[in-house]
Chain A
């Protein structure tokens, strides 16, 4: 008999078999928890105060995952303020993205011939496929928000100041990694939305002087996005950026542990950093308090995400990418709206009166080859990130207290307001009231786009199939097509939209002539397929009679009606 067997028999002889098995099981348990016996864990779970000496610090020296976490936190940072748990939540969403991403990778091929079909397969043939895709997409959006808020919080509490300048620096790298992760993932479904959003994004790179076209070529793999570009974006999305992200998360978190989580500003003497000098009576042990706290926040965040993905949220999938047809009102992803807004600034120095600003633009264009688009989109845009990197190094104020940082906090507020304003200007409807950034076609095309958008659903497309009564129906407020309440409602809505455009000009000064009329024509194409057209008769700016027609095919089972 082996030595181990002999010991076991001897133990059974001296203490009885029950206690021997219990003790052996407990040994195994202790190995698994890296130092906590079953009784210790039970104490943790029951919320018992830590015994002395505290066995709960042992995993911090024995186990890898515990050793990268501090043994205790300062009591002052365990309330919601000052951290709001945003750093933790960023890490949680990053983890969710990796897990759901690996699931989606199984069913995906980065090739223009296969990618879109794969997407439809994920939605229609893979159990949990749609759920995983919704989680991945919504988690990515949430991660961008949480990471941005995390940075805003760090700025507000002055936590970027000495000694945490480099922590901030790695944090800005992680913000950029997050944005690029999200952006590179945008292209992969290979639908119209992704194709054109990424075309816009990479066109900005193309506009850069000197190296722009080269960068664009490297990104796209060809002058236009195609098989090469998709493969490159895929590799950036699943290899390059996750790798950079993981490396920088490691550095970032090492710095967080090294310097401790900064205390609320009012608790520290000016210019000092006491995060690591925690008096014994202010210590909150990681086990169990911080750990359960973190698990709770992670759990609640994931639960909200899961419920959203399972119920109201559906990740969009538009029609197959078509390089030959740009949908109306194409936009970059929402977190790059501000960049699109920057591109719409008409002059390099926009505060000057128009003619002078125009003359200066001429001067810049002739002497430096600098157009307003290149200046704002390619030089000022990236400068925003340079500015973020530089924040801790250019802020000379040693105090973290809000009262002492009025200038910096105001600048931060102005910066946030500017980004919001530019984001509004970046979307086609532009900024409310001023109309800055408005992009629109002729009034008829905008009406058609409102009720029958090139991509996505419009009111005219969500009429129930049996209410699409074949024939030509004039648009009027009291439309009364029998047995078609929804059709009548939409006809009235189109009428009111027309009336509105007849009385108020859009920000470009375009207005619909008073006599313009419209009708909706529905034709049966196949037993379960109808063609629905919106036909607008109007006078163009020269006074010539014009007809604008836009049509869609609607299948009975397309699941649009609601």
Chain B
């Protein structure tokens, strides 16, 4: 019955005029409400929200692409890339390099096109171009977002002692310690380092650029430091010499995990635990021989 009433409903003239008028008032009210909201607060609120989300996007790209050389906190990594979060970077960089525009455009330009450094070397690694049109992996909007993320450090720059600053133009980077000539066995060890894929995760200056596990640049020095540390004594580690420590790290990587990796805290269980089975004992000795030359003081 109700259904029949609804389907045979024919609004009277008065109802039509009233409903029509009310509808038009509602439409005008909706427009006015949006108009007033847009012109007072809504545009600004949405602007802030979307700009914040672009910073979030930039953070993701930064962690994927930039953190391996500039560090998660933008403090820079020795020999890889300078700090992007220090006061010095925000206040002086544009002047130092003689860039005739803003810092934002400088960051964007360097990220997009890279810096060809052979002419005036500041670091031994060059900054590669990241823009897809220049052969890099990123789209323009992603780089714009990375710039937003880096500029977001400006409100609270990080000026701790371990910040790695770029040398000023004209100043050369700290010279690499004269490499100790490798013995034939050590040379073989270096090749084993590459052929076993260690370079995918670990960095050694001039050899490998991995950014998942800890850097091995000063492995001997670090090993000496760790075996005497409290953290190590509390762990399952049993090494007493740097060579033992290196061997243990390869054959039993879970024994002790260093706290800091290029992308934040070192994850447990990432390093394969079966190298003792896959690398023959003789090769393992050569590999350890090679690795213990890294950061070993020269007499």
Contacts and interface: CB of A to CB of B under 8 A. Distances in A.
Contact of A310 (B30, B49, B56): B30
A125 B52 contact: no
A296 B8 CA distance: 17
A525 B59 contact: yes
B39 A127 contact: yes
Interface residues of B, number: 54
Q: How large is the interface on A (under 10, 10 to 19, 20 to 34, 35 or more residues)?
A: 35 or more
A527 B156 contact: yes
Interface stretch (A7-15, A275-283, A285-293, A395-403): A285-293
B152 interface: yes
B49 A299 contact: no
Contact of B27 (A45, A303, A559): A303
Contact of A299 (B20, B43, B47): B20
Nearest to A306: B30
Nearest to A523: B264
Nearest to B10: A79
Interface of A: 45, 47, 78-81, 113, 116-117, 120, 123-125, 127-131, 288-289, 292-293, 295-296, 299-300, 302-303, 306-307, 309-310, 319-320, 322, 523, 525-529, 531, 545, 547, 552-559
Contact of A47 (B13, B52, B56): B13
A130 B6 CA distance: 36
B50 to A, nearest CB: 5
Contact of B30 (A309, A525, A526): A309
B20 A296 contact: yes
Chain B interface main SS type: helix
B42 to A, nearest CB: 7
Contacts of B27: 299, 302-303, 306
B231 interface: no
Given A127-B43, A288-B13, A555-B56, A526 B19 contact: no
Contacts of B48: 557, 559
A293 B72 CA distance: 65
Contacts of B152: 526, 528-529
B188 interface: no
Given A306-B27, A547-B269, A559-B49, A553 B56 contact: yes
Contact of A81 (B8, B31, B60): B8
A320 B10 CA distance: 49
B34 A131 contact: yes
B38 A130 contact: yes
B246 to A, nearest CB: 26
B35 interface: yes
Contacts of A123: 46, 50
A559 B52 contact: yes
Given A293-B16, A526-B152, A529-B152, A553 B49 contact: no
Interface in B15-53: 15-17, 19-20, 22-24, 26-27, 30-31, 33-35, 38-39, 42-43, 45-53
Interface in B40-94: 42-43, 45-53, 55-57, 59-60, 72
B160 interface: no
Contacts of B17: 45, 47, 292, 296
Contacts of B43: 124-125, 127
B35 A127 contact: yes
A307 B31 CA distance: 9
Nearest to B34: A131
Given A117-B141, A557-B48, A292 B38 contact: no
B7 interface: yes
B23 A552 contact: no
Contacts of A45: 17
A193 to B, nearest CB: 14
Interface string B256-299: 00000000100101000000000000000000000000000000
Contacts of A127: 35, 38-39, 43
A293 B18 CA distance: 11
Contacts of B42: 130
Given A80-B6, A296-B11, A528-B152, 8 more contacts: A79-B7, A128-B35, A130-B34, A299-B23, A309-B34, A552-B56, A553-B55, A553-B56
A557 B28 CA distance: 31
Contacts of B141: 113, 116-117, 320
Given A310-B34, A553-B56, A559-B49, A80 B13 contact: no
7 contacts: A117-B141, A130-B46, A303-B27, A303-B30, A307-B26, A527-B156, A547-B269
